[in-house]
């Protein structure tokens, strides 16, 4: 993202999975996309934003900057120092380096938590997802929402992905619980878990956390979807 911002346009990440599979990203361009170029489901999701906003895994700040221009009080957080530097260079007023596991009430209270770019995956696994969802519950207002982007791992015919599902099940992991690391030029991240879930699996994870799926924004012929997650009535 930093190289793209400085003018290098031919940049792509390589994602390495623990079964030896490699994939190449579509490049950094979408991290910087203007609202008119967003996916329709992302545009629609913006109408559900309310109150102070926490953008988890904010990347280059495309969502945070859009909402800031709309007058929202936004805090963008990302584990990458260079991502936060890019956000600040682009004009995001409030941005800090912070992994998802360090989110806490010291940041204040929020009316909306944004998790775009498949960032429901940052929860990593079922157990950690439930723990973090309960923590987000305590950090948010009574009528708060989480706007979470995910991808249904079962909507594929790719034999490598189907084999990986079976590989995960033998290890007592969720089918879409990826173990990956990301490479760019000479840089490489540590290995980490990244969780892709079906809509039903997401609902199962939300159960007992004080949150529930309120609405799903899906695209035809795409495994990607956005869920508008609200606090359950009995927990309010």
Note the pLDDT tens digit of each residue in 34-47: 999 999 999 999 99
Least confident of 28-32, 81-85, 206-210: 28-32
Q: Is this prediction's pTM over 0.85? A: yes
Q: Find, among 42, 28, 7, 19, the residue nearest to 218 by Cα.
A: 42
- Could you report the per-residue pLDDT of 168-210, keeping only the tens digit for each? 999 999 999 999 999 999 999 999 999 999 999 999 999 999 9
Q: What is the pLDDT of residue 21?
A: 97
Q: Is the pLDDT of residue 96 over 80?
A: yes
Task: Give the pLDDT of residue 142.
Answer: 94
Task: Say yes or no: domain 48-177+194-235 is CATH 3.40.50.300.
Answer: no
3-class DSSP string for the chain: CHHHHCCCCCCCCEEEECCCCEEECCCCHHHHCCHHHCCHHHHHHHHHCCCCEEEECCCCCHHHHHHHHCCCCEEEEECCHHHHHHHHHCCCCCEEECCHHHCCHHHCCEEEEEECCCHHHHHCCHHHHHHHHHHHHHCEEEEEEEEEEEECCCCCCCHHHHHHHHHHHHCCCCCCEEEEEEEECCEECCCEEEECCCHHHHHHHHCCCCEEEEEEEECCCCCEEEEEEEECHHHC
Confidence of residue 8 (pLDDT cuts 50, 70, 90): confident
- pLDDT (tens digit per residue) in 103-130: 999 999 999 999 999 999 999 999 999 9
Would you state the structure tokens that stand for residue 12, as one six-digit string? 């792509």
- At residue 94, the pLDDT reads 98
Q: If you average pLDDT over residues 23-29, what whole number do you get?
A: 86
| Better pLDDT: 44 or 234 | 44
**Model pLDDT, residue 236:** 55
pLDDT at 235: 60
pLDDT number for residue 64: 98
pLDDT for 52 equals: 98
Q: What are the extents of the domains in the chain?
A: 48-177+194-235
The rounded percent of the chain whose pLDDT value lies above 70 is 99
Work out the mean pLDDT of the chain and round it to a whole number.
95
């Amino acid at each position: 993202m930093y190289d793209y911002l400085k003018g290098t346009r031919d940049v792509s990440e390589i994602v390495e999975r623990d079964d030896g599979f490699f994939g190449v990203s579509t490049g950094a361009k979408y991290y910087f996309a203007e609202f008119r170029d967003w996916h329709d489901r992302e545009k629609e999701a913006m109408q559900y934003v309310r109150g102070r906003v926490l953008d988890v895994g904010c990347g280059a700040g495309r969502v945070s900057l859009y909402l800031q221009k709309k007058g929202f009080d936004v805090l963008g957080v990302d584990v990458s120092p260079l991502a936060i530097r890019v956000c600040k260079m682009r004009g995001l007023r409030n941005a800090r380096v912070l992994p998802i596991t360090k989110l806490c009430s010291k940041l204040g209270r929020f009316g909306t938590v944004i998790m775009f770019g498949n960032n429901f995956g940052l929860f990593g696994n079922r157990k950690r997802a439930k723990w973090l969802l309960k923590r987000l519950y305590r950090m948010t207002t009574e009528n708060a929402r989480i706007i979470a982007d995910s991808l249904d791992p079962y909507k594929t015919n790719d034999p490598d992905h189907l084999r990986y599902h079976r590989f995960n099940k033998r290890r007592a992991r969720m089918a879409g619980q990826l173990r990956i690391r990301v490479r760019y030029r000479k840089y490489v991240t540590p290995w980490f878990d990244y969780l892709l879930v079906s809509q039903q699996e997401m609902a199962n994870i939300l159960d007992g956390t004080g949150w529930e799926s309120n609405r799903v924004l899906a695209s035809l012929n795409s495994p990607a979807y956005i869920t508008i997650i609200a606090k359950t009535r009995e927990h309010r």
